[in-house]
Amino acid sequence: MTRSTGSAHGPLTLVACCLALPLAAQAQTKTDGLWRGAAGAAAAITSGNTSTSALSLNADLSRATTADKISLGGVINYGKNKTGGQNSTTANKWAGFGQYDFNLSPRLFAFGRLGLEGDELIDLNLRTSLAGGLGYKIIDTKATSFNVFGGAGYTTDKYDVAQSIGGRTDTSFSRSSLFLGEESSHQLSPSVSVKQRLELWPGLSGDKAKLAKFSAGMSVAMSSTLNLNLSLINNYNSKPPAGSKKNDLGFFTGVNVKLGAL
């Protein structure tokens, strides 16, 4: 089940489909140079007085050595319903990212990150986010990892139709910003792990919008290759298009399959 709020087309949307963010099998990243990750897909269809359909797909992969780490991920979420003969789209968004980390020492690392996303419900054709800086591994054990990071970022939003944001009407908005955040993973037992990540993008120029992204989740292993996942995601934009809410909140539960080496 997926529950989300913050859409420009209604205060609350319920979609009977979801896909949780993949979680690592253990807190400490293995540095053997092999690709590891998870992917999942889910769909739901209901019929009656109200007909609904939904589809979610995601994938998350990483490859780490003692020198560096590459992380890739993406998610697609689509849903629609039909009530009284009227069709409406309840979700149509996608996002992807890539990040490269280079270890300067066992604790300190430099990183570069690229994020891409779109959301048809708010006419967002493409948001491009670039960030780079330094990170520090405060805790790095098999049971727990905790990193903090910071640097500079630049974001460009391109819309299909003109939007009014911060007193300006246009189809393109951009801003330079700080990039701050933290993330942690915890192996609670051989079969249960939790993970969370917070990103802050306080704008310094352009429309000076403040963006924030938070995700948290729990993964329960059902077998050596299948996990049951629960995730909470909240995206915040201090200056959304007119008619859109600042917060976009979602709760997800689903099953993922592990990819690559175990």
pLDDT in 10s for each residue of the chain, 262 residues: 444 444 443 333 333 333 333 443 456 788 999 999 998 877 777 777 778 887 788 899 999 999 999 999 998 888 888 787 788 888 899 999 999 999 999 999 999 999 999 999 889 999 999 999 999 999 999 899 999 999 999 999 999 999 988 788 999 999 999 999 999 999 999 999 999 999 999 999 988 999 999 999 898 999 989 988 888 889 999 998 888 889 988 777 778 898 888 7
Query: For the chain, how many helices (H) and strands (E)?
Result: 0, 14
Length of the chain: 262
CA–CA dist 41, 18 (Å, integer): 8
Helix (H, G, I), strand (E, B) or coil at 160: strand
- At residue 34, what are phi and psi to the nearest 5 degrees? -100, 145
pLDDT of residue 260: 87
Please, what are the domains in the chain? 2-260 (2.40.160.40)
**Tokens, residue 115:** 């994020």
CA–CA dist 79, 44 (Å, integer): 9
- Partner residues linked to 70 by β-bridges: 63, 100
pLDDT of residue 28: 72
- DSSP structural state of residue 14: E
CA–CA dist 227, 107 (Å, integer): 30
pTM beyond 0.95, yes or no: no
Buried b (16+ CB within 10 A) or exposed e, 91-125: bebbbbbebebebeeeeebbbebebebbbebbbbe
pLDDT of residue 27: 66
